[in-house]
């Protein structure tokens, strides 16, 4: 039987690895030429000479830069706060859309999240989950959407489209995997929470007002994002699915993260109650 050779996966990491490695290959080729010309050995001076030869090639990094610029454009598209043409982005935001200003949460003075949070939120997601997984799930969700493109069902209802789509089992499972991966980064809960608060505040595109993302905002946001992860952990059959996908050690980490978040939320409620007295 002839083995089927699969083409390399065209992923975010793989594209950058290939582009960077092409430069190393040119350096290695220069060293091999030096070695052939000097009896199979290369001196430190010859290594420096080969490096200087490469330094003089104006187009040496063109391929790598072209790959990087293409993916930077992709990242910028993900940062678009409106996420109007970004199904995965809209679905991720749907988990906490009710906390944004102008929705049920009211105004900023009463604890609502500024809409300026969207751009740094996507940055947090990319850093914690990784572009490879996001691109893969983005493609899977787009396929699901396309499968319903010609169907006259609730998934195509323009009024409640995103709510219906987020609850569609195949979509919900993929979103849950994104947030489970994110939650794993909170193993050191307090340290990671402070990191997230700082990152979001450092990347807010401030307008006329200087809104600040606080610990209270963070606790409420994480509670919304990890809602379905928590629900899955509470049901044996769904918990078993997480173990199959992530491993038992990671699922135990998720339980510890949810417990730490519960303590944060409880402390928040106590402070709110004290403020009302």
Which residue, among 98, 174, 108, has the nearest Cα to 136 in the 3D structure? 174
Is residue 265 within 8 Å of 216, Cβ to Cβ? no
Q: Tens digit of pLDDT for each residue in 49-63?
A: 777 777 767 666 666
Check residue 192 and give its pLDDT: 96
pLDDT tens-digit map of 175-190: 999 999 999 999 999 9
Token pair of 37 as six digits: 């010309």
Give the CA count within 13 Å in the CB-facing half-sphere of 148: 18
Burial of 183 (0-12, 13-18, 19+ CB in 10 A): buried
Q: Which string of DSSP letters, residue by residue, matches 56-118?
A: T-TTTTHHHHHHHHHHHHHHHHHH-TT-TT-HHHHHHHHTTGGGBTTSTT--GGGTPBPGGGH
Q: Is the pLDDT of residue 134 over 50?
A: yes
> pTM (2 decimals)?
0.66
Structure tokens at 150: 């010609």
Q: What pLDDT score was predicted for residue 12? A: 54
188 forms beta bridges with none
Q: What pLDDT, on a 0 to 100 scale, did the predictor assign at position 1?
A: 29
- Tell me which residue of 187, 193, 188 sits closest to 267, measured CA to CA: 193
Closest C-alpha among 261, 112, 113, 135 to residue 186: 261
Which of 41-45, 63-67, 209-213 has the lowest average pLDDT? 63-67
CA angle, 79 as apex, 74 and 83 as ends, to 5°? Answer: 100
> How many whole angstroms separate alpha carbon 153 and alpha carbon 57?
59
Count Cβ atoms below 10 Å from residue 242 Cβ, excluding itself: 19
Whole-number pLDDT of residue 66: 63
Please calculate the CA angle 205-190-78 and round it to the nearest 5 degrees: 35
CA gyration radius, the chain: 24
Which pLDDT score is estimated for 185?
A: 96
Per-residue pLDDT, averaged over 82-86, amounts to 50
Distance CA 103, CA 114 (A): 11
Helices (H), ranges, the chain: 12-37, 44-55, 62-79, 87-94, 118-129, 131-147, 161-167, 169-184, 189-202, 215-225, 227-233, 236-246, 248-276
Q: What pLDDT sits at residue 71?
A: 56
Q: How confident is the model at residue 138 (pLDDT cuts 50, 70, 90)?
A: confident
Give the pLDDT band (50/70/90) at residue 2.
very low
Q: What is the mean pLDDT of residues 129-148?
A: 84
Q: Is the pLDDT of residue 4 over 50?
A: no
Domain residue limits, the chain: 10-39+63-79, 83-276
């Amino acid at each position: 039987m002839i083995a089927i050779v699969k083409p390399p996966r065209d992923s975010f990491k793989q594209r950058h690895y290939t582009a960077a490695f092409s430069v190393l290959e040119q350096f290695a080729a220069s060293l091999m030429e030096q070695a052939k010309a000097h009896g199979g050995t290369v001196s430190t001076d010859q290594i420096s000479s080969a490096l200087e030869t490469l330094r003089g090639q104006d187009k040496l990094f063109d391929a790598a830069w072209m790959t990087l610029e293409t993916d930077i454009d992709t990242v910028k598209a993900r940062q678009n706060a409106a996420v109007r043409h970004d199904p995965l982005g809209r679905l991720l935001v749907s988990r906490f859309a009710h906390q944004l200003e102008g929705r049920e949460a009211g105004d900023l003075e009463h604890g609502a999240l500024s809409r300026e949070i969207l751009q740094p939120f996507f940055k947090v997601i990319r850093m914690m989950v990784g572009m490879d997984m996001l691109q893969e799930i983005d493609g899977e969700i787009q396929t699901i959407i396309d499968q319903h493109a010609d169907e006259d069902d609730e998934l195509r209802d323009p009024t409640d489209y995103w709510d219906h789509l987020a609850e569609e089992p195949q979509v919900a499972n993929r979103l849950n995997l994104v947030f489970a991966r994110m939650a794993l980064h909170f193993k050191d809960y307090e340290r990671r929470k402070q990191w997230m608060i700082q990152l979001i505040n450092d990347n807010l595109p401030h307008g006329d007002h200087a809104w600040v993302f606080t610990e209270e905002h963070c606790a409420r946001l994480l509670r919304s994002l990890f809602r379905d992860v928590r629900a899955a952990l509470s049901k044996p059959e769904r918990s078993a699915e997480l173990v199959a996908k992530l491993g038992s050690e990671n699922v135990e980490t998720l339980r510890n993260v949810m417990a730490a978040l519960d303590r944060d939320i409880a402390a928040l409620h106590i402070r709110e109650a004290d403020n009302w007295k």
